[in-house]
Amino acid sequence: MHKEITQQLPANLKLFLCYRKLPTLLAILVLFIGGLFSAIQLSDFDFREFFKLHTNTAVVKGTIAKSYYTGISGTIGDDEGTYYINAFVYDYDVKGEHHQWISYSRSANKKAGDKVSIEYNVASPQYSVIQGYDYRTNGANVLLLLLFPLAAISLLLYHVYKGISFNKTINNGVITTGKLSKKKVTYEGDYATYTKLTFSYFSDAKKKDKHKISVTTSDTAPFVKQGKTYIIFSKTNPKNALILNDLSSQIANYVKKNWIT
């Protein structure tokens, strides 16, 4: 069977080309949870201060004016969900101008009158922090929380890229049948077993140009029916192909109903 595709998918179905089932759902879940958690943790984060303290900085000596403990609630700590860190109020002068600010540390032990090194922004010396300390109670590394939503966004963008690639293959594609040539279990767990299925297909009617395509899945049933399945390959590059049932069920059902039967 070789049937050239002469139509395009409806616009609403093209969106489903970006849907990669479980990986897409996991990316959306991580984006939601990571985004929510980051938004809560960064609600009091001063991005201007962050950038000021990471660009055009210099160091000057300063003096601890006061030290005390301050509590941070809503975190894992004692029975009340609070732990305490050291807060240090310090004084420093830049070009004859006096400044006072505060830094935090979980381990440092300083007292009033102790000398410390102050890192400040040259253009805006009011932005400063004691070297090696944090300029906010939860620590500057809270920005690492952005890695989770950014990773999820990157994965979703990759799915969009793959969807565009799939659409190009379909628009320039030929439908054929593939035959299961190899079946190998790649992972066995308590809740799921993943199997790699390899299909062979021919890009010419005389069955001389043979190609292979694989898919790894925990549910082999949709891919194997009497030992073969439908494959769409590019007319200009037959090695560029996709397995129909690896796409969303909405697309697979549409193609079978309107383009095959």
Q: Please give the share of the chain, as a percent, with pLDDT higher than 70.
A: 91
Residues 153 and 242 placed together within one structural domain of the fold: yes
Question: In this structure, are 251 and 207 located in the same domain?
Answer: yes
**Domain co-membership, 254 together with 181:** yes
Is residue 141 assigned to a domain? no
Is residue 37 domain-resident? no
CA distance 142 to 42: 7
Write out pLDDT tens, residues 162-212: 999 999 999 999 999 999 899 999 999 888 899 999 999 999 888 889 999
Check whether residue 153 and residue 250 sit in a common domain: yes
| pLDDT value of residue 78 | 46
The CATH number that applies at residue 111 is 2.40.50
Domain membership of residue 41 (yes or no) is no
pLDDT at 219: 86
38 within a domain of the structure (yes/no): no
Residues 210 and 180 reside in one and the same domain: yes
Q: Are 12 and 257 in contact (CB under 8 A)?
A: no
Q: What is the total count of domains within the chain? A: 2
Rounded to two decimals, what is the model's pTM?
0.65
Give the pLDDT score at 173.
94
The predicted structure's pLDDT at residue 237:
93
Do 61 and 117 lie in a common domain? Answer: yes
Q: Identify whether residues 152 and 131 lie together within a single domain.
A: no
| Domain shared by 175 and 239, yes or no | yes
Domain range enclosing 102: 47-135
Domain boundary among 74, 105, 135: 135
The answer on 84 and 173 residing in a single domain is: no
Same structural domain, 23 and 66: no
Choosing from 101, 135, 169, the residue where a domain stops is 135
Q: Look over the chain and give the mean of its residue pLDDT values, rounded to a whole number.
A: 87
Note the pLDDT tens digit of each residue in 76-134.
444 455 667 899 999 999 999 999 999 999 888 899 999 999 999 999 999 999 999 98
Whether 140 is in a domain gets the answer no
162 with 252, same domain: the answer is yes
Q: Does 75 map to a domain? A: yes
Of the pLDDT bands very low, low, confident and very high (cuts 50, 70, 90), residue 5 is very high
Q: Please tell me whether residues 77 and 174 are part of one structural domain.
A: no
Domain assignment present for 39: no
Whether 175 is in a domain gets the answer yes
